[in-house]
Amino acid sequence: MTSPVLEVSRIRKVFGGVVALEEVSFAVAAGEMVALIGPNGAGKSTCFNVVNGQLRPDEGHVALHGRAITGLPARKIWRLGVGRTFQVAATFASMTVMENVQMALLSRRRRLLSLWPRATRLYRGEALELLERVGAADLADRPCGQLAYGDVKRIELAIALANEPALLLMDEPTAGMAPGERAELMALTAAIAREGRIAVLFTEHDMDVVFGHADRVLVLDRGHLIAAGEADTVRNDPRVREVYLGP
Ligand code: ADP
Ligand code: MG
């Protein structure tokens, strides 16, 4: 069996007296869409922060393609191919969509910003390809600040893809979107993940989106992973129903 892209083993993370994660273990394979769900405060964002190096776990290990990355600086982990999209839009509002993606490509190639004027010519074709992949080529010359919210989300996806991620972490990617738009963004993400063999780990509150687009679902409750498996199995798990529907 090939090693998974991401392997998280027995992670523990404590904030003061609050145990945010305890004995959390799971893996994500290439091309797989995995949803991490759980009520507010369950530890989902903390889990993402531990994986991408923003937080150091108190115990446990994180491996990327079988290589230990636990405790490496976030920038190094990003270099190794861990991309992330944020709940709050992270584009430069006054720059065009094209410039935002070109900037991301420049950063990936570790080129200095002083190369910017040349980079805008150098990376135009590549940036356009990325925009085509997310269905936003027609928005290339629009300033990001003028885009509809759903479009910004697609541009963020293009920016994340510019880093050629092996693993993409998406923390509440559809927050603030209309239900129809949510399904569209996640269908697009799933298609890109499958085509590019990218492992995707995402959090999501809309259960229709979760069970419609995740291959597997992990359920966190107060820092503990209480269920993990194929979407249909998890959906019918009595403990999951209890957490979501109350006793
Ligand atoms: P989720 O993303 O599932 O809503 P979080 O990972 O943000 O949950 O939070 C898990 C728990 O850890 C919560 O009790 C939260 O208050 C706590 N927590 C998260 N980040 C910090 C922090 N930087 N300092 C102190 N407590 C934190
Ligand atoms: Mg969160």
Residue with tokens 């920016």: 159
Residues within 6 Å of ligand 1 by CB: 15, 18, 20, 38, 40-46
CA-proximal residue: ligand 1, atom 6 (nearest) = 43
Helix or strand or coil: residue 195?
helix
The model's confidence at residue 247, banded by pLDDT at 50, 70 and 90, is low
In ligand 1, the atom with minimum distance to the C-alpha of 223 is 10
Query: What residues does 59 pair with on adjacent strands?
Result: 12
CA-proximal residue: ligand 1, atom 22 (nearest) = 15
Ligand 2 mean position to 113 CA, how many Å?
33
- Residue from 13, 15, 47, 201 whose mutation best tests the ligand 1 pocket (most atoms within 8 A of CB): 15
Ligand 1 mean position to 20 CA, how many Å?
6
Ligand 2 mean position to 179 CA, how many Å?
19
The model's confidence at residue 242, banded by pLDDT at 50, 70 and 90, is confident
Span 133-186, pLDDT tens digits: 999 999 999 999 999 988 999 999 999 999 999 999 999 999 889 988 999 999
Rounded to whole angstroms, the Cα distance separating 68 from 61 reads: 7
Span 95-106, pLDDT tens digits: 899 999 998 888
Alpha helices in 84-169 (DSSP H): 97-108, 116-122, 124-133, 149-161
Ligand located closest to 41 CA: 1
- The domain ranges of the chain are 1-81+165-247, 95-164
Helix or strand or coil: residue 9?
strand
Q: At what angle do helices 97-108 and 124-133 cross, to 10 degrees?
A: 110
Rounded to whole angstroms, the Cα distance separating 173 from 205 reads: 10
- Sequence-distant (6+) residues with CB within 8 A of 148 are none
The CATH number that domain 1-81+165-247 falls under is 3.40.50.300
Confidence (pTM) = 0.93
